[in-house]
Amino acid sequence: MNVSLAHPMLRQWPVAERDALPMSLWTAAEIVAATGGVTSHDFAAAGVEMDSRDVKPGDVFVALRGEAMDGHRFIPQAFEKGAVAAIVDRPVDYPHILVADTTKALHDLAHFARERSHAIRIGITGSVGKTGVKEAIFACLDRASRGAAHRSVRSYNNHVGVPLSLARLPARARFGVFEMGMNHSGEIAPLADHVRPHVALITTIAPAHIENLGSLEAIADEKAQIFTGLLPGGTAVIPADSEWAGRLIGHARNCGATIVTFGRSAGADVRLLDAIPAPGGGALVTADLGERRICYHVAEPGEHWIVNSLGVMAAVRAAGGDLASAGLALAEMGGLKGRGARHRIAVPGGEALMIDESYNANPASMRATLKALAATPASRRLAVLGSMKELGDFTEAFHRQLAEPLAEAGVAYTILVGEEMRALAEELGKGTGNSLGKPIAFAHCQTPVEAIALLEQWSLAPGDAVLVKGSNSVGLGRLVSHFIENSPAGTAAGA
């Protein structure tokens, strides 16, 4: 269109700096500039992928080489699924960019994407709740920016997932939200150095991976390494109610961070004033932010989400996001697959509720979700609990200690899955009573297949609520899928 003939208002339309940025995620020229590689073809890519099974049309496939697997073997499959090019360390008969080291090339892409974007970056770590909080912050910022927010998908939070998530950061993004996890000491700092966040949030400190780190103090110290990557003037968002809050604050101060605390504690910068159970689940939260008070609805059930929402609001404010939009986003959030998704399962005579927490478990998250189960309206409460992994010498004690929250939740029947759950079975065998004083009926088995059979034998009834939770390696997601797929009404609807 001839601009001179355009409507006057169109000629006056403001042009922002980001309007000049490319629409495609990567061009061949940009990848060459980022990696120093040599391209065989010109192309534009809409995505970056390292798993040939997940390639979508328009992706560039990074052929990573590991100790047991070489991504170059799967290049044909990647192109069959629509890849436009591959990043390789040897010539191939497909459009490609040749580099010396594909892992380094992925890191180079990540750093190039980070530097070309003006996005405010938020980094998240913690023992419990990382993924849910990451999704909540993303939903808040995405709503406020009208789709200009980016985040790491699934739990892409390790030495490969974080660079991959950064490499997917669009140049036009206004916000980027990145999760960082660890199993061993020394893993968080390199991830923080990749992201270089403007805002870094720690959800909580709990005995996840204590087998490898040895103590809660060591876990707190490791999680606090996220502050080492903060940009100058960056903000550290810290749980005020944590036993380790002072330790975390000390680390943040050493890194020169601006410190914002959140929680129930009287001195918290983002402080809970009130939380009222909301009709249909969740809570109506009132919080004091110092210069103002805000009231919003949290759709996710459970007390832990009330405190999580305070951390979300603190991070959104630190990132320059809109708190009103954040409140609306929190009111609309639903549970994630394996991390709180709620499904209505058709049973003879009505429906039962299945709560899918099958992706992860540690002592703190077990207690939190059992407490949420206790607050869930139900005619009977049931629990399928899988082993908690990586607890080392604490394994038996932490499993035995679940008897108390099971009793407090009023669980009528629990199925325990995995060898580590034997300790809890022994504890329940002593006659531990539930909130009604009745012994908790239980069964112990080793596999999800056995657990499916046991739950089917129990016969779910209308009004039942079933919590399914365990470490991902136990495989209880299979049980959830079985009951959803075999529901008489077909696929279960989210609650």
What pLDDT, in 10s, does the model give residues 118-130?
999 999 999 888 9
Lowest-confidence range among 175-179, 359-363, 475-479?
Answer: 359-363
Average pLDDT of span 45-53: 96
What pLDDT, in 10s, does the model give residues 53-69?
999 999 999 999 988 88
Question: Which of 294, 312, 332 is the last residue before a domain boundary?
Answer: 332
- In SS3 terms, 88-140 reads as ECCCCCCCEEECCCHHHHHHHHHHHHHHHCCCEEEEEECCCCHHHHHHHHHHH
pLDDT at 4: 53
Flag whether pLDDT at 434 surpasses 50. Answer: yes
Q: Let me know if residue 303 belongs to a domain.
A: yes
Check whether residue 366 and residue 484 sit in a common domain.
yes
Check whether residue 322 and residue 450 sit in a common domain.
no
What pLDDT, in 10s, does the model give residues 247-273?
999 999 999 999 999 999 999 999 999
Most confidently modeled range among 22-26, 283-287, 339-343, 390-394: 283-287
- In SS3 terms, 223-281 reads as HHHHHHHCCCCCEEEEECCCCCHHHHHHHHHHCCCEEEEEECCCCCCEEEEEEEECCCC
Question: Which of 103, 134, 161 is the last residue before a domain boundary?
Answer: 103
pLDDT at 432: 67
Q: C-alpha distances in angstroms, 474 versus 94, 131, 470?
A: 40, 19, 7
Flag whether pLDDT at 70 surpasses 80. Answer: yes
Q: Let me know if residue 437 belongs to a domain.
A: yes
Check whether residue 65 and residue 147 sit in a common domain.
no
CA distance 84 to 168: 15
Q: In this predicted model, which residue has the larger pLDDT, 11 or 351?
A: 351
Q: Let me know if residue 384 belongs to a domain.
A: yes
Check whether residue 176 and residue 322 sit in a common domain.
yes
Range of the domain at 269: 117-332
Q: Could you give the dihedral angle defined by the CA atoms of residues 440, 446, 447 and 453, in that order, rounded to the nearest 10 degrees? A: -50
Question: Which of 332, 361, 386 is the last residue before a domain boundary?
Answer: 332
Check whether residue 378 and residue 461 sit in a common domain.
yes
CA distance 48 to 87: 10
The angle at the Cα of 155, spanning 208 to 362, to the nearest 5 degrees, equals 20
Q: Closest by alpha carbon to 283, among 303, 265, 264, 263?
A: 303
Q: Let me know if residue 165 belongs to a domain.
A: yes
Check whether residue 290 and residue 162 sit in a common domain.
yes
SS3 324: helix
Mean pLDDT score of the chain: 91
CA distance 122 to 176: 6
pLDDT at 430: 87
pTM of the full predicted structure?
A: 0.82
For position 85, which CATH number holds?
A: 3.40.1390.10
Strands 38-39 and 26-27: unpaired
pLDDT at 10: 52
Check whether residue 164 and residue 270 sit in a common domain.
yes
pLDDT at 490: 39
For position 198, which CATH number holds?
A: 3.40.1190.10
Check whether residue 286 and residue 215 sit in a common domain.
yes
Q: In this predicted model, which residue has the larger pLDDT, 169 or 493?
A: 169
Q: Let me know if residue 123 belongs to a domain.
A: yes
CB of 96 within 8 A of CB of 40? yes
For position 418, which CATH number holds?
A: 3.90.190.20
What pLDDT, in 10s, does the model give residues 359-396?
888 898 899 899 989 988 899 999 999 999 988 888 99
Amino acid identity at 347: V
Flag whether pLDDT at 3 surpasses 60. Answer: no
Check whether residue 160 and residue 267 sit in a common domain.
yes
Q: Closest by alpha carbon to 71, among 92, 56, 42?
A: 92
Flag whether pLDDT at 22 surpasses 80. Answer: no
pLDDT at 2: 52
Complete edge-to-edge strand list for the sheet that includes strand 85-88? 38-39, 96-98, 85-88, 59-62, 47-49
Number of domains in the chain: 3
Looking up tokens 């509720």 gives: 353
Check whether residue 175 and residue 95 sit in a common domain.
no
Sign of CA dihedral 314, 284, 468, 220: positive
Number of neighbouring beta carbons within 10 Å of residue 488: 8
Looking up tokens 């380094």 gives: 104
Average pLDDT of span 459-487: 93
Average pLDDT of span 476-485: 94
Length of the chain: 495
Flag whether pLDDT at 339 surpasses 90. Answer: no
pLDDT at 210: 76
Say which residues have a Cβ less than 8 Å from residue 310's Cβ, sequence separation at least 6.
262, 263, 268, 270, 271, 272, 285, 287
pLDDT at 420: 95
Check whether residue 324 and residue 177 sit in a common domain.
yes
Strand partners, 65: 70
CA distance 280 to 368: 19
CB of 179 within 8 A of CB of 185? no
